Every structure is written in C-alpha cells, then in structure tokens.
Structure 1
Amino acid sequence: MKRMKRMKAPFAAKRFVDEYFPHCQAALLAGSVVRGEETPTSDLDIVIFDNQIEKAYRKSRIEYNWPIEVFVHSLTSYKAYFKSDAERARPSLPQMVAEGIVLKDSGILSIIKNEAAELLNEGPAPWSEQTLLTKRYMLTDALGDFLGTQNEAEALFIANTLAEAIHEFVLRTNGRWIGSSKWIVRALKQYDENFADRFVEAFDVFYKTGNREGIIRITDEVLMPFGGRLFEGYSVGK
C-alpha cells in the first residue's frame, strides 16, 4: 500500500494544538522532528501547558497521518515530573521542553524553558558511596555470569544487562544523564564519542561472532577507576 504523504511536522503539530487544545496557555513540539533526526516512523511529541486540567496525562493518537504523543500538564504539574526525571537521571520531560519549538505561548514558556535548561545543565545528583558500591558489585556480578555461562542463549541476555549497566555506570560516575533504548548510545556519544564507538563495537562483535573479550575489557575499564571488580567484602544492610 502506498504511504500517504503527510504535512510537515510543525504544521501538523500546530493544527493539532489548535483543534484539540485551543484554550491552552502554551504548547511545544519536541522529539526527533525537531532535532533533524526524523525517520518514516517518527512521531510528534507535543507538550501542552493548560491551567484548566486537574491532573497531568499522556495520550497517543493518530492525526493527519502522524502518530502523536501528547504530554499534557498544568502550570504546576510539570515541576513534579522535572523532579522525578532528575531523580531517575533520565530527564525526558526537561529535554523535550528545553529543545522544543514553540507552537503557542501566552508568555509563560521562557520561564519553564529556563527551568528545564538549568536542570539539564546541573546534571544528576552524584551517587552516594553505598550506591556506588552496590552498582559496582552488580556490574561485577553480571560480568561473572557472562564469563561463566556456556549457554549462548543466556549469554545474549546477560550481554543486554551488561550494556545497560555499563552505560549507567560510566555516565553516572561522570555526572551525566543516562538514557534507555536508543538513548543509551546517544547519551554515551554526548559524553564521549570515542568511548561510545568502542562500546558499540564490543557488543557488535559479540552479537556477530560470540567473542566476549571486548565486553569484558570495557567492563573492567569502567570499573578500574573505582577499585575494579567488587565481590569480597561487599555488604548491604549490616
């Protein structure tokens, strides 16, 4: 079936806001279409600020041949989401607000955008000493499972765990925000392109050939500045 041609993202987003949120105080378009990374499967991420809503919500729809994710907030609810995102070190909403292009503004967006930019620039709170020990132990434990298993199917999924854990460890110990899914590689590239390339290569080689050496090497590399692998003496709750 031939795919219908769809209107340009900003026009579709503006039409959506005018049609479904005509009384909102502000609206932004964010996501890949704003960053110049649009693909045939990209959606429109639209953030709405409306002082009439009682509770923040998210909704998915298809309009004008576009999949649309709309994030609706009051003029105060976004603050709790900013705080929650900062605590989990994945600043999804602050990133959307900071990068978003204005679709509508009654004069409030500059303040909210400044809040988002300040949060992003500040970075996540550093790990406590106990959290660092726990993360170091968990990464060591996953590496041990990876080294020990002779089951290739198990090794595939342990590698997935290691990829997530390595990315989190190196970014958090360097005061950087983390990602998930495709944002793992993007977050690593924002931190250090050379490291990101070596990280991707290590896992690519393993998935293609079964060679585990690159993953083992890069795991030890990120652990080394903090004392290396940790098992002996690790304790929690005592």
Structure 2
Amino acid sequence: MGNHYKLHPINAAHKFIKSHFPYCDGALLAGSVVRGEATETSDLDIVIFDKTYSSSYRESLIEYGWKIEVFAHNLESYREYFQSDYRRARPSLPRMVSEGIILKDNGIINAIKYEAKELLAKGPEIWTTETINTKRYFITDSLDDFIGCNNRAEGIFIANTLAELVSEFVLRTNNMWIGRSKWIIRSLKEYDISFAEQFVEVFDLYYKSDSKKEVIKLVDEILLPYGGRLFHGFSLGKK
C-alpha cells in the first residue's frame, strides 16, 4: 500500500530507486513533475537501465504518496523503443530520457541521453506523396460525415476523429512529432501556438454551439496546399 503523505517528487524518486532498484546501472525521473506541469493526479515516470535485465518491462506502483510508472530497460532494449517511437512519430521514451533528471548513473546515462536528443532533433520520417494522399482521403471522408451529420451524438464522435486526423496531418506534413490524448495539443503548440489556439477554438465552438462552419473552413484551408479534399480517383491497394 502507498503512504498517505506525499514526499517531494525528487526525494520520493531517490528513495524509490534505493529501495527497489539499488543495483541498477542508471535511473531517470521524467514526466510532468520534471517539466513543472504536475497536477493532483500526476505520477512519477521513472526510467531504469540495468544491464542484467533480459528484456524491458513496465510496472505501476504506489509509494511515498505517489503513483509511480516504471519503464525498465537493459542497455540494448531502449533502442528498440526509440526506433518504434520514431516509426510511429510519437517519441515517448526519447522525450522521457532527454528531459529526465538523473537519479543514478554508473557512467551510461549521458550516451543514452545523447541518442535521445539526436533522435528528437531529427524529427519523424517525412511523409511520401502517397501517404499524404491517403490521409487526405480519410480526412475528406470524415469531413463529409461531419458535414452530413444531423445527429448530435454521432457528430461529437465524428468531430473527435476529424480533430485527431487533422492534427496528425498538420504536424506530419510540417515534420513535427505527433502525440496522443493531452500530447495532441502539446504537439500542436510546439509547432505553432497561434495555430493551436485557432484549432482548439473552432472545435470548441462546434462542441458548445453546434456550429460546423469554422471547423469545415479550417480543414479546407489545411488541405488546400496539398490539393484539397480527395475522393474521386483515390485508390488503395489496387494491383
């Protein structure tokens, strides 16, 4: 069971490492507490490196009044996660490693941090024209559903899908990392704060007053430089 009092996050993290991972080769504290964005429900993200582990694993615990997420790796397994994060364009582990506060280091952390920072600076793979066209097609399909929808309950979920597809399109066509959940808006802000505000505003307007006009206008503006909406002539997997 976790304790009812809450230690300072860095103190809690140090105590946690000493009690649970005393023989690890390196440990980092990452996440919202490190970025100064912690809320009442934030947890401690702790990345462990231990050369004796046969594979990576993840574990959740409650200690010292904190929810603690452990991401444990050996000295090779983290690279597979770096590559997987690179391919999906959501750099969760590289971001944790690059921003992480060192809790313990047997001389391995700086090199791993360097790899993480290099990957983040490189940005994700550039989309091919074929990928851009496929994404245009699916955005067009969702936009058509949104425009034609007269059912408020269905409209809410179509709008959610549209927001996710369009945010991904904007970020990837501008060689930016994408996110999921709260990281969607954080990624949009990293790209362009005023665009992020406009993006939230048009969807918020729809959710509050059922007004679709601004969402449709924004989506069309985003698609325009790439040829606009796409339906006629699109094919996928045709031999």
- 1:187 aligns with 187
Moved more, 87-96 or 120-129: 120-129
Alignment of 1:74-223 (within 5 A): 74-223=74-223
Q: Please list every run of 5 or more consecutive structure 1 residues that lacks an aligned counterpart in the other structure.
A: none
Cα deviation 1:56-96 (Å, max 9, x = unaligned): 00000100110000000000000000000000000000000
- 1:27 aligns with 27
| Cα distance between partner residues in 2 of 1:218 and 1:48 | 43
- 2:224 aligns with 224
Q: Which amino acid aligns with 2:193?
A: E
Q: Kindly indicate whether residue 53 of structure 2 is the aligned counterpart of residue 43 of structure 1.
A: no
| Cα distance between partner residues in 2 of 1:143 and 1:205 | 16
Flag as ranges the 4+ runs of structure 1 deviating above 6 A: none
SS of the residue corresponding to residue 207 of structure 1 reads helix
Q: Kindly indicate whether residue 11 of structure 2 is the aligned counterpart of residue 11 of structure 1.
A: yes
1:106 Cα deviation after fit: 0.6
1:237 Cα deviation after fit: 1.6
- 1:69 aligns with 69
Q: Which amino acid aligns with 1:132?
A: I
Cα deviation 1:144-185 (Å, max 9, x = unaligned): 000011111110000000110011000000000000100100
| Cα distance between partner residues in 2 of 1:4 and 1:78 | 33
Question: Conserved in 1, the CA contact under 8 Å of 2:50 and 2:74?
Answer: yes
Q: Give the TM-score normalised by structure 1.
A: 0.98
| Cα distance between partner residues in 2 of 1:74 and 1:62 | 23
Question: Conserved in 1, the CA contact under 8 Å of 2:97 and 2:116?
Answer: yes
SS of the residue corresponding to residue 159 of structure 1 reads helix
Question: Conserved in 1, the CA contact under 8 Å of 2:156 and 2:207?
Answer: yes
1:4 Cα deviation after fit: 4.1
SS of the residue corresponding to residue 51 of structure 2 reads coil
Moved more, 84-93 or 125-134: 125-134
1:5 Cα deviation after fit: 3.7
SS of the residue corresponding to residue 107 of structure 2 reads coil
Q: Percent identity?
A: 58
SS of the residue corresponding to residue 228 of structure 1 reads coil
Question: Conserved in 1, the CA contact under 8 Å of 2:171 and 2:177?
Answer: yes
Question: Conserved in 1, the CA contact under 8 Å of 2:4 and 2:64?
Answer: no
| Cα distance between partner residues in 1 of 2:197 and 2:141 | 25
Q: Give the TM-score normalised by structure 2.
A: 0.97
Moved more, 212-221 or 109-118: 212-221
Cα deviation 1:30-81 (Å, max 9, x = unaligned): 0000000011111000000001111100000100110000000000000000
Q: CA RMSD in A?
A: 1.0
| Cα distance between partner residues in 2 of 1:213 and 1:29 | 44
1:137 Cα deviation after fit: 0.3
1:131 Cα deviation after fit: 1.1
| Cα distance between partner residues in 1 of 2:123 and 2:157 | 30
Q: Which amino acid aligns with 1:140?
A: T
